[in-house]
Structure 1
């Protein structure tokens, strides 16, 4: 029993250290954060039960509540406003906000992550080029119920924010990839929903200043 309690405590501490690394170093890969946390704690990952991604996400939310309660909400609101502006520009590609900016866990290290959709993949390249927006393309792997698929992701800067827009086919707007946190379909938000989040944050900010 004592051993089980020790393992549970170690797992919780690993989740907390991994969350701190993600918050302070901008690590976005759960696996990398787990292994770095285990290394710091002197734990052999081959002989230990590592925390679930959902446990690390919960620990990250708690870390931000304790240590970033003043600046993080303002940073998040600013990133959501930037996301909404970009989504309006990219309206022809039916953009959806995903990731930490949508979940509320974003900080200064976070990219604004979008999913965009097009009948012809080259149309998105041409759109960015026509507007003089420099971009890099990287490959991203997403998990679906039947396995993994690979997609081009366009990385660019707009204003003070970094964006990553992953390009899907037009029909894939109806099928979200699996979340790395809990394996359920990834949450996606359209521009109308992001606008509501922005408005709600502004109302909360005004109330807080009363």
Structure 2
């Protein structure tokens, strides 16, 4: 008897739902969650790229999961995360920071890290600033925003992990106020985050 193979759309949805649970409950990043979900749903079967859900599809499932299972806790966790991030952005105001990721798109929770991009002609200037604040930091994997890669460091701020990328000031205009292909906001500045908190 042949093994049942679900339709492609059903398989993509099943993988997206499994990945969403891993993100919402365990705090995995999208790439790791998707890889783990593919293994749990498809086993050793190699899937064509078009059978794997996009980050946007997974994000939709994260929202659905949070609304169904975490509605009593996630909104408060998101607000706390945004408030902590805004405090840090004000400290970094000289570098005109942009925040992006889960706390902007509304899926942030107690598991979420803070992702910031700051702007300086010399990335060492940011390192010196962190040292002057007595903040221990380490180089980490590069920051990724709008398909561009930036050198980054990681440190802890108020018991949250922060990934802080550095770009040149000339790049800021092209990165700020861009929307995803679905039209949702995925990054903003101090003023934008303040508006999100006031909404």
TM-score range for the pair, normalised by the shorter chain length: 0.7 to 0.9
Task: Tell me how far apart the structure 1 counterparts of residues 150 and 106 of structure 2 sit (CA, whole Å).
Answer: 25
Name the SS of the counterpart of 1:97 in structure 2.
strand
Runs (4 or more) in structure 1 with deviation over 3 Å come to: 141-144, 181-187
Task: Tell me how far apart the structure 1 counterparts of residues 35 and 161 of structure 2 sit (CA, whole Å).
Answer: 26
What is residue 156 of structure 1 aligned with on the other side? 155
5 Å matches for 1:7-86? 7-30=8-31, 32-43=32-43, 44-46=45-47, 49-86=51-88
Cα deviation for residue 156 of structure 1 reads 1.2
Instruction: State TM-score, norm by structure 2.
Output: 0.85
1:198 paired with 2:197, answer yes
Task: Tell me how far apart the structure 2 counterparts of residues 141 and 84 of structure 1 sit (CA, whole Å).
Answer: 19
Number of residues of Structure 1 aligned to a counterpart in Structure 2 = 192
Residues 1:99 and 1:199: Cα distance change in structure 2 (over 3 Å): same
Unaligned 5+ segments in structure 1 are 201-210
Q: Which 10-residue stretch deviates more, 135-144 or 60-69? A: 135-144
What is residue 137 of structure 2 aligned with on the other side? 135
Task: Tell me how far apart the structure 2 counterparts of residues 64 and 184 of structure 1 sit (CA, whole Å).
Answer: 21
Instruction: State TM-score, norm by structure 1.
Output: 0.81
Task: Tell me how far apart the structure 1 counterparts of residues 75 and 182 of structure 2 sit (CA, whole Å).
Answer: 27
